[in-house]
């Protein structure tokens, strides 16, 4: 995922100004070190605020330093839970064929606010959940299952991907009806 955010090198001058004027009890050198760790942690993918706090605490930074670094990362738009949720929902829908229920569980576990999760799942460009479930069924089961074991397997695939049971049954019925 491309983030469109400034690189850490361009953010250093902003960091210095923010660190020196921080109202908390954090030490500027500790915050700078925490930011260095944070930039490296963000190099592989976007993170949530909770993920970043947990990471920085785990590597040994105190609470004031962690909060100071996270505040700066939010100001510089390196951390944005709403953006993370929207991208995560889009990626997992398109690449992993996840349903809304599974996306919601995962985002919640990553510490994203419920309102931000709802907004990410309400993306009008995402297409309907039923259409995505049908596309997954057509890919995994080109011919609709004609026996109970096959239908159970197909239903299991949809449920594990996070589609709600009623929607999964509706998709199975539509998939079977399209073939007849």
pLDDT at res. 26 = 60
Give the pair of three-digit tokens for residue 166: 């009623």
* Same structural domain, 13 and 64: yes
CATH classification at residue 24: 1.10.10.10
Structural domain including 67 reads: 9-79
* Cα–Cα distance for residue pair 53/163, rounded to 1 Å: 31
- Please give the helix or strand (H or E) that residue 172 lies within, else none: helix 165-179
* Same structural domain, 66 and 27: yes
Q: Contact, 93 vs 103, CB < 8 A? A: yes
Q: Contact, 121 vs 90, CB < 8 A? A: no
- Please give the helix or strand (H or E) that residue 80 lies within, else none: none
pLDDT at res. 125 = 63
Each residue's pLDDT tens digit in the chain (180 positions)? 444 454 444 444 444 444 344 445 567 799 999 999 999 999 999 999 999 999 999 999 999 999 999 999 999 999 999 999 999 999 999 899 999 999 999 999 999 999 999 999 987 665 688 999 999 999 999 999 999 999 999 999 999 999 999 999 999 999 988 654
């Amino acid at each position: 995922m491309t983030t469109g955010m400034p690189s850490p090198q361009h953010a250093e001058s902003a960091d210095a100004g923010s660190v020196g004027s921080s109202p908390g009890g954090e030490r500027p050198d500790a915050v700078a070190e925490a930011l260095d760790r944070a930039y490296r942690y963000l190099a592989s993918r976007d993170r949530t605020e909770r993920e970043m706090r947990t990471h920085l605490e785990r590597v040994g930074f105190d609470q004031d330093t962690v909060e100071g670094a996270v505040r700066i990362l939010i100001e510089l738009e390196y951390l944005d839970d709403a953006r993370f949720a929207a991208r995560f929902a889009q990626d997992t829908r398109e690449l992993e064929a996840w349903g809304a229920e599974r996306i919601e569980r995962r985002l919640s576990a990553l510490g994203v606010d419920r309102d931000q999760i709802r907004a990410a799942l309400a993306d009008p460009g995402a297409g309907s959940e039923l259409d995505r479930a049908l596309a997954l069924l057509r890919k995994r089961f080109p011919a609709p299952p004609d026996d109970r074991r096959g239908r159970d397997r197909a239903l299991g695939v949809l449920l594990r991907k996070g589609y709600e049971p009623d929607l999964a049954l509706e998709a199975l019925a539509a998939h079977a009806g399209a073939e007849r």
